Amino acid sequence: MISTAVKKSVQAFKPMPKFELPDYTQKPAIPIRHIAVGFDGKEIDFAFYMNNQFASTFFATLSVFLTYGEDLVIETARYHRDFVKDPLLKQRVTSLIGQEAIHSKLHNEFNDAIAHEAVNFPVKLYRFLGEKFFDNIFLKFPQPLKLSMMAGIEHFTAVLAEYMMKHEKNFYYSNDAKTRAMWMWHMLEESEHKDIAYDVYQLLNGNYALRAAGFFIAFGTILGLIPFSTLFVPVLRQPKDLVTRKFWKDAKRGVALIFSPNDGVFGSTMGQIFDYLRRDFHPNDHDTSAYLEYYKDKLLSEGGAIAPYLVKTFTPPVRH
């Protein structure tokens, strides 16, 4: 019933593709990196983000639900790849699919680890809720809206990636090298492919109102569902902590680390998030190329945070 109503609403948003493709010959090909970390729940520092459990809980919650968002991106990108005629953009879509598939795989391995009694994160419950929510709502949306959602989700992860790349020190409050490697690698690749979903949307549809609709659905999911779910984790995980001053002090600082307008992950980037609603917006308006080169060198070279876990790198071929 909901999906039928949504389909009828989306039909009112007529495609308006007036997008001039960038010159992809001037852009480097995007590789798919195979990563093997080997998480162990007993080794995970659950205060890995700036030595704060509440903020780390937000990221752990994001990790669980993120896998469903990545699966939506993969399914949507695969469907629309066949409509892309430019061979270089099609190659970039394949890279997006490959990178997101490995993100989903590695986050699921991390999620399995934090389900261990040493951490006791309610992974099973949140997977059940995430699966029901995505399978019965988002994945039943018509393809134009899923394409718009894909572009919106990728915008949020691009903003998150840029913030994290600008705040490198935030990853080094903990000695948990494996969790640090996962998030830093993920942020590198989100920035690397940040324009692909948007370019495909503009090329195949381009309707501004539908783009805005996808943005607000992504906004409600990432900055509504994730924080709301985070609030219940302490109750489910360690309810006795709720009566301690230490918990509330940690929670107050954790909320600020995520939502403070001064330097919070999302609080301080709200202007950049809503920049997406400019009619002439493009992800590359926010240039992160210097950060990308810095992090590729720092993370992937010998001795880098990701280097010990990098198995192989593959660049999809260009298919005409």
- pLDDT (0 to 100) of residue 171: 86
- pLDDT (0 to 100) of residue 320: 79
- pLDDT (0 to 100) of residue 101: 97
User: Tens of pLDDT along 245-260?
Assistant: 999 999 999 999 999 9
How large is the angle between the packed helices 177-192 and 143-166, nearest 10 degrees?
Answer: 120
- pLDDT (0 to 100) of residue 19: 77
**Token duo for residue 53:** 């459990």
- pLDDT (0 to 100) of residue 312: 94
232 band by pLDDT with thresholds 50, 70 and 90: very high
Residue 10 scores a pLDDT above 70 = no
158 band by pLDDT with thresholds 50, 70 and 90: very high
User: Tens of pLDDT along 28-72?
Assistant: 999 999 999 999 999 999 999 999 999 999 999 999 999 999 999
Residue 267 scores a pLDDT above 80 = yes
pTM, to two decimals: 0.93
Lowest mean pLDDT among 13-27, 42-56, 286-300: 13-27
14 band by pLDDT with thresholds 50, 70 and 90: low
Residue 148 lies in a domain: yes
| Separation of alpha carbons 106 and 101, rounded Å | 9
**Token duo for residue 203:** 């090329």
**Token duo for residue 179:** 């969790």
Residue 111 lies in a domain: yes
Residue 17 lies in a domain: no
Residue 236 lies in a domain: yes
Mean of pLDDT values over 74-83: 97
Closest to 110 (Cα-Cα) out of 66, 73, 75, 154:
66
Residue 302 scores a pLDDT above 90 = no
Neighbours of 253 (CB within 10 A): 16
Assess contact for 57 and 254: CB atoms under 8 A. Answer: yes
User: Tens of pLDDT along 160-169?
Assistant: 999 999 999 9
Average pLDDT, the chain: 93
Residue 39 lies in a domain: no
Domain span including residue 257: 52-314
Assess contact for 313 and 35: CB atoms under 8 A. Answer: no
User: Tens of pLDDT along 93-121?
Assistant: 999 999 999 999 999 999 999 999 999 99
Domains of the chain: total: 1
User: Tens of pLDDT along 202-223?
Assistant: 999 999 999 999 999 999 999 9
- pLDDT (0 to 100) of residue 1: 52
Mean of pLDDT values over 228-239: 93
| Separation of alpha carbons 230 and 55, rounded Å | 9
| Separation of alpha carbons 265 and 171, rounded Å | 13
| Separation of alpha carbons 223 and 219, rounded Å | 6
Residue 285 lies in a domain: yes
- pLDDT (0 to 100) of residue 84: 96
- pLDDT (0 to 100) of residue 40: 95
Phi-psi region of 206 (alpha: psi -120 to 50; beta: other; left: phi over 0): left
- pLDDT (0 to 100) of residue 235: 92
Residue 200 lies in a domain: yes
Residue 276 scores a pLDDT above 70 = yes
Helix, strand or coil, per DSSP, at residue 34: strand
Residue 40 lies in a domain: no
Distance of CA 320 to the CA centre of its chain: 30
In degrees, to the nearest 5, what angle opens at C-alpha 52 toward C-alphas 48 and 57?
A: 75
| Separation of alpha carbons 272 and 251, rounded Å | 26
21 band by pLDDT with thresholds 50, 70 and 90: confident
User: Tens of pLDDT along 125-149?
Assistant: 999 999 999 999 999 999 999 999 9
Helix residue ranges, H only, 46-176: 53-81, 87-114, 123-136, 143-166
Helix, strand or coil, per DSSP, at residue 10: helix
- pLDDT (0 to 100) of residue 201: 97
Task: Kindly write down the DSSP assignment for every residue of 164-217, as one continuous string.
Answer: HHHTGGGGGSS--HHHHHHHHHHHHHHHHTTTHHHHHHHHHT--HHHHHHHHHH
- pLDDT (0 to 100) of residue 16: 66
Closest to 178 (Cα-Cα) out of 267, 316, 45:
45
- pLDDT (0 to 100) of residue 17: 64
Closest to 272 (Cα-Cα) out of 231, 197, 215:
215
4 band by pLDDT with thresholds 50, 70 and 90: low
| Separation of alpha carbons 105 and 38, rounded Å | 12
| Separation of alpha carbons 231 and 126, rounded Å | 13
